[in-house]
Amino acid sequence: MPGKKVTPRRRSGCPLNASVEMLGDRWSLLIIRDMMLRGFRSYKEFLDSHEGIATNILAGRLRTLQAHGIISAGRDPSDARKRIYRLTPKGINLAPVLTEMVLWAAAHEETGNQPLVRQMRADKEKFLAAIRERWAGTAIPRK
């Protein structure tokens, strides 16, 4: 049975508002970044890495990101304990959003990961194409 629709009640019909309601918190975009740019796929990777998300928050975010159709979850055939999270096409399409946010911050704040920033600045379209390419055959997890 297909899940029942979550949160039909939007504050407004504005597309920006829709984005903010799905992504406007302190963790969602970082999780998506870890999947998209770092190739993270398991709960433990998200938990150990990046900015130190709390385990209950991570579980909640993974749930709502799934509910919004941005990520999907499956089982690891080689280890039944593991779940494998990956971006849906909708999630992959967030690449331009992430890119612009990275470029904006890099232009106005002192930030790290300059190699990434340089790569994005040098040829944005090429960078985005590379991400799409990398995620093209995502049905079967690598390795």
Which chain residues interact with DNA by CB under 7 A?
A: 25-27, 42-45, 52-57, 59-60, 62, 73, 76, 79-83
Q: Considering CB distances under 5 to 8 angstroms, the limit depending on partner class, which of DNA, its own copies, none binds residue 81? A: DNA
| CA distances, 83 to each of 44, 60, 91, 94, 112 (Å) | 10, 15, 18, 22, 31
The reply on whether position 24 binds its own copies by CB under 8 A is: yes
Pairing of β 79-87 and β 71-76: antiparallel
Is residue 83 involved in binding its own copies (CB under 8 A)?
Answer: no
d(CA 125, CA 117) in angstroms, rounded, equals: 13
94 binds its own copies (CB under 8 A): yes
Question: Which tokens is 135 given?
Answer: 């995620």
Quick one: residue 52, left, alpha or beta (phi over 0 = left, psi -120 to 50 = alpha)? left
Residue 72: strand pairing partners = 86
Least CB distance from residue 140 to DNA, whole Å?
17
Residues in contact with its own copies, counted by CB under 8 A, come to a total of 46
Stretch that binds its own copies, among 48-56, 59-67, 78-86, 129-137 (CB under 8 A): 48-56
50 interacts with its own copies by CB under 8 A: yes
Distance between CA atoms of 118 and 126, rounded to whole angstroms? 12
Residues found near its own copies in the complex (CB under 8 A): 11-27, 29-30, 33, 50-52, 69, 90, 93-94, 96-109, 111-113, 116-117
